[in-house]
Homo-oligomer: A and B are copies of this chain.
Amino acid sequence: MRADAQRNRERIIEVARAIFREQGYDASLDLVAKQAGVGAGTLYRHFPNRESLVDAVMQVWVDRVNDTAGKAMAREGAPRDVLVGWFADYVALISLHKGGPAKLTCAMGDETSPIRTKCQVLSEAMRTVLSDLEDDLVVPVDALQACRLVGGVATVADQADLDAEAVRPMLEVVADGFLARG
Residues of chain A at the chain B interface (Cβ within 8 Å): 102, 105-106, 109-110, 142, 145, 148-149, 151-157, 159-160, 162, 169-170, 172-178, 180-181
Contact = CB atoms under 8 A, between A and B. Distances in A.
Contact of A149 (B109, B142, B153, B159): B153
Contacts of A153: 148-149, 152
A83 B41 CA distance: 54
Residue in A156, A162, A169, A176 with the greatest tally of chain B CB atoms within 10 Å: A156
B152 A169 contact: no
A178 B173 contact: yes
13 contacts: A102-B159, A109-B162, A145-B170, A148-B153, A148-B157, A149-B156, A149-B170, A152-B152, A152-B154, A152-B155, A152-B170, A155-B155, A173-B174
Given A152-B155, A153-B152, A110 B160 contact: yes
Contacts of A110: 160
Copies of this chain held together in the complex: 2
Contacts of A172: 177, 181
Chain A to chain B: the 7 pairs with minimum beta-carbon distance, closest first? A152-B152, A177-B177, A180-B180, A173-B177, A176-B177, A106-B159, A152-B156
A180 B138 CA distance: 13
Contacts of A175: 177
Nearest to A178: B173
B170 A181 contact: no
A148 B173 contact: no
Contacts of A142: 169
Contact of A102 (B109, B155, B181): B155
Given A176-B176, A177-B175, A170 B148 contact: yes
A173 B181 contact: yes
